[in-house]
Structure 1
Amino acid sequence: MSDTAADQPKRPRQSRTGLTATGARKASAKSARSRAREFALQALYQHLVGRNDATSIDLFTRDLSGFHKADAAHYDALLHGCITTAQYMDDLITPQLDRKMAEISPIEHAVMWIGVYEFQHCPDVPWRVVINECIELAKEFGGTDGHKYVNGVLNGLAPQLRAAEVEADKAAGKAG
């Protein structure tokens, strides 16, 4: 018997689900909007931790590798919108928390800002997509179980900020 490649058993093909071993999406599977959220998250982190102003953060972030693949308009809206309305968003988020805002990781804090901002200003993004995108951000950049916390907070806010859409989904679920 020969030991040629033809004699060897074939290995199953690798799954091409677009996920890494940790369950996060591979860079090649990310949309321009998902990339915009990632850059906005990094920028908002700089704002929360370093107290840097939006203009400085924006200039720095636009020079980062891969920014050209992001939806720049969505990034702009998230960065400037979240910083401008930070106190208002914190006022919405705080009742959903089981601890003080100061005890929330800056990553999870910024992810929740992105979720609240999109709930309020991006009606073209379905509420479930907003939550899923925020969970992905928290999985990729946050602490071990931070995504679960973000999920709970945003799921608590969705009925308030996207009432009609959430109700329509519930009605469709009951009918289907």
Structure 2
Amino acid sequence: MTTRREGRELALQALYSKDLVSQDPNHTLKRIIESFGEGEEPTLLANSKAYAFASEIVSGVSAHLAEIDARIAEKSKHWSMTRMARVDLNILRLAVFELLYRPDIPKNVTMNEAIEVAKKFGSDDSASFVNGILDEIASTVTDKE
């Protein structure tokens, strides 16, 4: 597993947790690291680069949540955001953040990573759902954004 994948998974957990309890997702991210940073085997959570990437995603999603959610709502035909599974919604949020604010990450990498995270954390339909909405959003994102 790559460092960035590890970071995306950490970010997803923090963003998902924010949806369950009204708590700062950066605080939640730190708690996740503290909870799983010890043990007999080295864990992905001990990776400081993964944590730094996760922190950047969480901060970015939080700072641009209204714009990110507007993009998702615009492209999610027949699905209100309140009907979306929280895991799927937060995978979309972190991927849309990357599409809009991380031009150094190729669009296809962002999309493939989101699909893989959806396969791991979501339902049987999550990967195709995430792929469909991200494909619509990615087609509207220019390299200048």
Partners of 1:99 and 1:72 lie apart in 2 by 32
TM-score by structure 1 length? 0.72
1:16-165 aligned at under 5 Å gives the runs 30-63=1-34, 64-65=36-37, 66=43, 67-69=45-47, 70-97=49-76, 98-161=78-141, 163-164=142-143
| Cα shift readout 1:78-129 (whole Å, capped 9, x = no counterpart) | 1111122112110011011121100001100010011101111221211001
Identify unmatched segments of 5+ residues in structure 2. Answer: 38-42
Amino acid at match of 1:79: V
Q: Which has the larger radius of gyration?
A: 1
Identical columns (%): 26
The CA distance in 2 between the partners of 1:57 and 1:73, in whole Å, is: 14
Aligned length: 135
Q: Aligned partners of 1:51 and 1:57: how far apart in 2? A: 10
Amino acid in the other structure paired with 1:59: K
State the alpha-carbon separation in 2 of the partners of residues 164 and 87 from structure 1: 21
- Tell me the TM-score normalized by structure 2: 0.86
CA distance in 2, matches of 1:140, 1:58: 19
Residue equivalent to 2:40: none
Give the structure, 1 or 2, with the largest relative contact order (CA under 8 Å, sep 6 or more). Answer: 2
Local SS of the residue matching 1:102: coil
Conserved? CA contact 2:68–2:93, under 8 Å? yes
Contact 2:72 2:133 in 1 (8 A): yes
Which 4+ stretches in 1 moved above 6 angstroms?
Answer: none
Instruction: Give me the whole-angstrom Cα distance separating, in 2, the residues matched to 1:47 and 1:164.
Output: 30
